[in-house]
Amino acid sequence: MAVGRAQGWFSEAQVPEMLYGAVVAASVLAVVSVHAPPGDRVVVATVVVALVYWLAHVYVDAVGGRFSDREHSTGTRVLHALNDNWAVLIGSAPPIVALLVARALGADGETAAWWALWVTGGLLITVGGIAAWRAGARGWGLVGEILVGGCFGLLVVALKYALH
């Protein structure tokens, strides 16, 4: 039943946009949280970059759409792109929320950042696995596709390790 409700909130075509948002937010979080500054600067910086990335995504979609949609103005294309690309913002929320939850539970900035990165890795594995399953992957093919999601999660974790 929950899956049916979720499908009403977003389409399968928006899942890649959500994943982009999650990877971008987690990457920013990994970089900004190196030697985690006091306060909420990590959250603010991650939110600001996620917003800028979303706006850039909207802009690129609107301008790129002019090549295939010459009849509509840039303003119309921007409105269309705003409607089509909100999933990037939704995808950026899990790493930010995970960081905030860890902080609310008493974790220091550094620990909360690590927790948020591992949660994001779990999200990438889960979404990759669900997408592969729904596409018909089974057995070792399914395992391989899940591992790809895990590798992206580990890439973000490795980024933080490399900068730490």
Name residue 19's amino acid: L
* pLDDT tens-digit series, residues 3-39: 444 445 557 778 888 898 999 999 999 998 887 666 6
* pLDDT tens-digit series, residues 46-90: 999 999 999 998 888 888 776 777 787 778 888 888 888 888 899
Residue 164, classed as helix, strand or coil, is: coil
Both structure tokens of 141: 């093919």
Q: Does residue 18 contact residue 92 with C-beta atoms inside 8 Å?
A: no
Backbone angles phi, psi at 39, to 5 degrees: 80, -160
pTM: 0.82
Q: Where are the domains of the chain?
A: 13-163
